[in-house]
Structure 1
Amino acid sequence: MRPSSEAELADAVAGSMRPLLVRGGGTRTLGHAVGEVLETGGISGVELYEPGALTLVVRAGTPLAEVEGVLAGERQRLAFEPPDLRGILGREGVSTIGGVVAANASGPRRVQAGAARDAALGVRFVDGTGTMVRNGGRVMKNVTGYDLVKLMAGSRGVLGVMTEVSLKVQAMPEAEATLVVEGLDDPAGLACLRAALGSPFDVSGAARHSGRSLIRVEGMAGSVAYRVRRLIALVGGEVSLVEGESSAALWRAVRDVVPLQGRPGEVWRVVTLPTAAAEVVARIGGEALWDWGGGLIWLLAEPGRGAEVVAAVAGRGHATLVRGQGGPVFPPEAPEVAALAAGIRAKFDPRGILNRGMMG
């Protein structure tokens, strides 16, 4: 099914007698959901764009590339830097903005600007009964009552099918530069990233791979130059500087997990305490791409290491199997959390037809 309007979508959900597999572009779907495919790509287009107010309202099926193109025309961008996971997942297709928000897909700049859910101002969606729900608005404001905008971001379609999202956007910086720090082992290299993030120099990216620690700063040219000098003095080690488009290319590779693409093995997305990042990888083994100062680990590991991965992050994070066979994709929930989640799903999708099995 591919409805072309919100009304058609609501009718399709209300009248469905079988499970529905909600799909935007199919470029970042995880889990084991089953059902008749319900595509959102027919509900597309920019509803409202106010560059002066840094506000964008767009239908959920709109391709991400189209959204980014519209913003680039006004030298603006999505601050949360959504990753393109087609390479790491071996997928084709076109990513949609609704899929981005549903997955809470957020890249390296999350350490500075927050996640996709932090940029979401409002949302419209059809719940599992076919009822149209609207929450939030087109400007940032204090939330009274239940914040469905934040709830929907990261819900992966199990609570409702998004039809429209309102987002705050960000002006593109005048300049960017990346410090490349070499000559440090992993514990020291990660400590270097944490020191940079803990400094007052407004770091917008902190990642590590193949023995190199990367630290990004963005903004007005004079400010970037000043912060680069201060950070070089802070981190020490062997430091080189990459600027402009060359810097941007480094961070696209981090964002899209390029170093781990097209290689055999399982890929895990591990979120943990930055101070535990080196120990977690040493315990599991494999090759790591660290982002968020070590708080996010993309790990290429041998197949069948699921038990070791879960044990390594127990009590200090969680792990998602992004690419691999067998076992659960998402981490197990504590009983009280599982009960709360089940209660919320029962309210929004009492028949249990939306992305059944997605989070299991």
Structure 2
Amino acid sequence: MTPTTEAELAQMIAGANGPLRIKGGGTRSIGHVEGDEVCTAALSGISLYEPGALTIVAGAGTPIAEIEKVLSAENQRLAFEPMDHRFLLGTTGDPTLGGMAAANVSGPRRISVGACRDFMLGVRFVDGHGTIIKNGGRVMKNVTGYDLVKLMAGSYGTLGVLTEVSLKVLPDVETTGTLRLHGLTDRQAVQALSAALGSPFEATAAAHLPKGPSGDPVTMLRIEGFEASVKYRAGKLQDLLKPYGGADFTTGDGAEWAAVRDVTAFADQPGNVWRISAKPSQAPELVAKLDATTVQYDWGGGLIWVLADAGRDLRAALGDFDGHATLIRGSVDAPTFHPEAPALAAITDGLRAKFDPRGILNSGIMC
């Protein structure tokens, strides 16, 4: 089913006799969902773009590439640089605005500017009753009552089907530079990244690859802004990082950060892919427990991508820790998403009972 209007979508949901599987561009096939497919691809198009107000409004089925092209023409961008899952998951199609918002997809710049949800100004969606709901608007801090915008971000279509999203955008940058440290252990790398991120010199991304492009460890920091500022901050960070062996510095288009964002090192590699959120200081210790094939640290160590043998539930190896592990690719006899604490699970169940009492929207994906 491919509704062409919001009203048509509402009728489909209201009249559904069984589970519905919500699909946008089909690029983020995470988890296993049963049901009749409802595709939002036809709910597409940019309805409002005001460069001066740094605001864009578009249908949920609008391809991200289309939005980025329009923004680029005005020297603007989606500051949270959403990940493209196609490389990692081996999917086709076009990533869409609705899928990005529903999964709260955010890239390396999340540590400096925030996540996708922090740039969402407003949403329109259809809940499990078939009711059309609007929340938020076109400016920041305009929500009274419940902030359903933040609630929908990361709900993976279990509370409602997005039809429209309003976003705040930011100007693009003049210069991008990257600092690289070589040969550090995981623990040393996280310490170096933490030192840089705790400084006043504004790194916008921080990653560590235990096996870099050359096969040796490489630790990277990104700096963005006006050329003079980038060079000044790079020099200060090079001084700061001398205890870790020093760092080289280059400027360029930042293509290597797209590889970090999309975890392309894991593409076409056999095994399960896990996404682990943890305290950076605990990340090397957690990774040491996993006997992983390949690892990538992002967000200064706060986000760990792990490629492991198929069939292994890494949560058992991790034990109790202050974070969560999500199975992004592969299958094991375990939930896709990390089990919630009882108090949080009760809140989640209560929300679903209100927004989707029949349990028909992407049923099972977050259980």
Q: TM-score, normalised by structure 2?
A: 0.95
Amino acid of the structure 1 residue aligned with 2:267? Q
Q: Moved runs in structure 1, 4+ residues, more than 4 A?
A: none
Find the partner of 1:241 among 249, 252, 270: 249
What corresponds to 2:214 in structure 1?
none
> Which structure 2 segments of 5+ residues have no match?
212-216
Indicate if the aligned counterparts of 2:238 and 2:246 stay in contact, CA closer than 8 A.
no
What is aligned with 2:299? 292
User: In structure 2, what residue type is equivalent to 1:256?
Assistant: D
Q: How does 1:191-340 map to 2 (within 5 A)?
A: 191-209=191-209, 210=211, 211-236=217-242, 237-245=245-253, 248-286=254-292, 287-306=294-313, 308-312=314-318, 314-327=320-333, 328-340=335-347
AA partner of residue 155 (structure 1):
S
Contact 2:29 2:89 in 1 (8 A): no
CA distance in 1, matches of 2:127, 2:329: 29
SS, match of residue 8 in structure 1: helix
Distance 1:35 1:290 in 2: 36
Where does 1:120-199 land on structure 2 (aligned, <5 Å)? 120-141=120-141, 143-199=143-199
**Identity across aligned pairs (percent)?**
55
Q: Does 2:77 correspond to 1:64?
A: no
Work out whether residues 136 and 142 of structure 2, in 8 Å CA contact, stay in contact via their aligned partners in 1. no
| Gapped regions of structure 1 (runs ≥ 5) | none
Displacement of 1:142 after TM fit?
Answer: 5.3
Q: What secondary structure, in the 3-state scheme, does the structure 1 residue paired with 2:62 have?
A: coil
One-letter amino acid matched to 2:248: S
CA–CA distance in structure 2, aligned partners of residues 136 and 160 of structure 1 = 15
Q: 2:352 aligns with which of 338, 345, 355?
A: 345
**Cα distance in 2 between the residues matched to 1:114 and 1:313:** 28
How far did 1:175 drift?
Answer: 0.5
**CA drift at 1:313:** 5.6
User: How many angstroms does 1:310 deviate by?
Assistant: 4.3
Q: Is contact 2:312-2:332 (8 Å) kept?
A: no
Query: Aligned residue pairs: how many?
Result: 357
Structure 1 length-normalised TM: 0.97
Q: Secondary structure at the match of 1:284?
A: coil
Q: Give the whole-Å Cα distance in 1 for the aligned partners of 2:198 and 2:92.
A: 38
| Cα distance in 2 between the residues matched to 1:333 and 1:5 | 35
Distance 1:250 1:310 in 2: 33
SS of residue matched to 1:3: coil
Aligned equivalents of 1:272 and 1:53: distance in 2?
A: 36
Q: Quick one: which amino acid aligns to residue 224 of structure 2?
A: E
Q: Is the 8 A contact 1:49 1:57 kept in 2?
A: yes
Instruction: Tell me the distance in 2 between the aligned counterparts of 1:33 and 1:305.
Output: 21
**Contact in 2 for aligned 1:310/1:318 (Cα 8 Å):** no
**Aligned-residue RMSD, C-alpha:** 1.1
1:43-73, CA deviations, whole angstroms, 9 ceiling, x for partnerless residues?
0000100001110011110011111111111
Which of 324, 329, 354 in structure 1 is aligned with 2:361?
354
Distance in 2 separating the partners of 1:190 and 1:125: 40
The answer to whether the 8 A contact 1:159-1:349 is kept is yes
Q: Which residue of 1 aligns with 2:4?
A: 4
How far apart are the structure 2 equivalents of 1:304 and 1:165? 37
Task: Name the counterpart of 1:118.
Answer: 118
- SS of the residue corresponding to residue 253 of structure 1 reads helix
Q: Which moved more, 1:136-145 or 1:166-175?
A: 136-145
Shift in Å, 1:206: 0.1
